[in-house]
Structure 1
Amino acid sequence: MEKNTRVCKKCLLRDMGEAEVFENMYQYIANLSPEDKVSDEEYEQRLMICRQCSHLLSGMCGKCGCYVEMRAAMKVRHCPDVPGRW
């Protein structure tokens, strides 16, 4: 049985245009297996919480440096703030 794989082009952000960065991020999220991804409702709830957080800066978390939209999509990831917000 072939396992679903995620593809990472290993590009530097400075080498890509902003539209390509977002396209790659959303493609990565879309390719997560259902077992690894939170429900659409939980994803939107997490993003709503992140939108209100003082650590959010240009789509990135000031606590850990991740893209919050990628982190929020994964079941095994949680808010890095102490205490975590989600």
Structure 2
Amino acid sequence: MSERREFLDGGLVPLVCARCATRVLVKKTSVRHTSVQWTSPPAETCPEFAAAVAGGTLSALVDTCWTLRESIEQAVRDGKLEVPGD
């Protein structure tokens, strides 16, 4: 795998949102930095993104889904998602 591909895709872990069961790929590179790759269009599968888009916000401008964020934090607490250096 090239260094660029490894940087972009390496270490991604499948995760399912506790609220809506949307599946994403997640990587923690530090306590503060999280990378999320959506495996489906977020506005079609995530209620928080759908509500924002219905309200006129472009999907790309939605900062985060708070339920997904909590699901990621729970995965870290449960040891299912590693944080380097932690």
TM-score (norm 2): 0.26
Q: Higher strand proportion, which one? A: 2
TM-score (norm 1): 0.26
